[in-house]
Amino acid sequence: MSIPLVDLAAQHAEVAEEIEAGLADVFATTAFIGGKAVGEFELAYADFTQVSHCIGVANGTDALELALRGVGVQAGGEVILPANTFIATAEAVSRIGAIPVLVDVDPDYLLIDPNLVAAAITKRTQAIVPVHLFGQVAPVEKIIEIAAPLGIPVVEDAAQSQGATRFGRFAGGLGDAAGTSFYPGKNLGAAGDAGAVTTNRADVAERVRLIGAHGSAKKYVHDVVGFNSRLDTVQAVVLKAKLARLAGWNELRRAAAARYTELLADVPGVRTPNSMPGNNDVWHLYVVRVPNRDAVLHSLHEAGIGAGIHYPYPLHLTRAYAGLGYQFGDFPVSERAANEILSLPLFPHITQAQQRQVVEALRTLRPRAVKGTLVEVALGPLSQVSI
């Protein structure tokens, strides 16, 4: 039996009729841009996340860029973010003309290390971006304790954490603003690219809407240089239908993650993930750490198990960010993790039998040696595909 890393077909089957009806209305009214479903979804997602404002945008990368622009990040400024994240976190900074400043992550949760953030702050620091990686919430309150006295805004990368909480507060509403992604594989996924900015600051919300609409609050009146980033009405229909089921789907993810942890407890060499005290994580990904990871991944694929790597290269070891001047060894926790992390199949509809099959494959496989680990080819071909 082949087990996928994610199963979007099972998820879509739950909402297909509702989406079909919503799309019929969109096509009947031809309200493809700014249709009523956009406003309805924005209100619903703001309520779900317990924030004052939600602004739908075209994708998650735009959401991060707009959130950063909304809090005042400008060209030439510095933005602190973890080395262990998807490249979009840094791209959002670079597209503004600001400079990504990388810090390492803690060894237990692989989330941004607040102690290292404090040491990275300079007079040029304009924002700090904690990333809620794998559906786990970063310790934003500790970042705010450092940033607030200095007047530095905190922008969450909440792309993988829809519905996760820290001490009862939802990711996406912990800092000055947040950018999230509704890429199809996310916990709340569209039928294509989509994203949103969430914030409790009215001034940030106003600026985000302005910049994302060509700098125009009134047709043909342009107050600032902006660009075009809008949530399609079609995607809003899909997201609204799925949002109504997100809490339940997240509970299924939590149950599956707990089951993996129990089943893997006696599997030699497999280190299961931890949840930070105060968190109620949503397990966008269930990421274990194993020795000889590339060989393990190859063997799992041969056994029909759709495992993945998120992510095989820390940002400073990508060609795109070689110009930042970091070297191999600068972020040892992120570098070691990149050699060990392995994402196991996890989605709301995964069955207990499927999970047992994954665990049994890990227990019994005899991985063949493969070349091309991070240490061997730090700037070599990017051969792994991430979702």
User: Which of 199, 187, 220, 64 minimizes the C-alpha distance to 128?
Assistant: 64
- pLDDT at residue 91 above 60? yes
Is residue 334 a part of any domain in this protein? yes
Per-chain mean pLDDT for the chain: 94
pLDDT at site 365: 81
Q: Does any domain span residue 155? A: yes
- Structure pTM? 0.94
Domain boundary among 240, 267, 289: 240
Residues 227 and 268 in one domain: no
Same domain, yes or no: 116 and 190? yes
pLDDT digits (tens, 9 = 90+) for 94-107: 999 999 999 999 99
Same domain, 236 and 252: no
Q: For the chain, what is the largest distance between any 2 Cα atoms, rounded to a whole number of angstroms?
A: 65
Q: What's the CA gap between 259 and 344, in Å, rounded? A: 12
Residues 293 and 360 in one domain: yes
Whether 371 has a pLDDT exceeding 60, the answer reads no
- Say yes or no: 214 and 259 in one domain: no
Token pair listed for 186: 């996310």
Helix (H, G, I), strand (E, B) or coil at 225: coil
Look at residues 212, 240, 268 and tell me which one is the last residue of a structural domain: 240
| Degrees to nearest 5, angle at CA 283 with 282 and 286 | 170
| Residue 278: alpha-carbon gap to chain centroid | 19
Residue 255: CB atoms within 10 A of its CB come to: 14
Q: Report the candidate in 378, 374, 373 with the shortest Cα–Cα distance to residue 321.
A: 378
CATH number of the domain where residue 264 is located: 3.90.1150.10
pLDDT band for position 368 (cuts 50, 70, 90): low
Q: Give domain status of residue 50, yes or no.
A: yes
Among 207-211, 254-258, 379-383, which is the least confidently predicted range?
Answer: 379-383
Q: Is the pLDDT reported for residue 191 higher than 50?
A: yes
The reply to whether 100 falls in a domain is: yes
Domain assignment present for 380:
no
pLDDT digits (tens, 9 = 90+) for 123-154: 999 999 999 999 999 999 999 999 999 999 99
| Final residue in a domain of this structure, among 240, 272, 287 | 240
Same domain, 205 and 259: no
Kindly state whether residues 198 and 261 are assigned to the same domain.
Answer: no
- DSSP, residue by residue, 335-364: HHHHHHEEEEP--TT--HHHHHHHHHHHHH
Q: Identify whether residues 183 and 256 lie together within a single domain.
A: no
Q: Which residue range is the domain that position 87 belongs to?
A: 8-240
Non-local CB neighbours of 216 within 8 Å, separated by 6+ positions: 210, 222, 223, 226
State phi, psi for 121 to the nearest 5 degrees.
-70, 135
Shared domain for 77 and 202, answered yes or no, is: yes
Asked if the bond preceding 311 is cis, omega within 30° of 0, the reply is yes
The arithmetic mean of pLDDT across residues 347-352, rounded, is: 98
Reported as half-sphere exposure (CB side, CA atoms, 13 A), residue 6 has a value of 18
CA 258 to chain centroid: 21
Q: In this structure, is residue 18 part of a structural domain?
A: yes
Residues 303 and 161 in one domain: no
In a domain, 183, yes or no: yes
Q: Are residues 128 and 201 in the same domain?
A: yes
Task: Give the number of domains in the chain.
Answer: 2
* Residue 367: predicted pLDDT: 57
- Quick one: 199 and 115 in the same domain? yes
Identify the CATH number of the domain in which residue 109 sits: 3.40.640.10
Per DSSP, the three-state class of 67 is: helix
Mean pLDDT, to the nearest integer, of 335-362?
Answer: 97
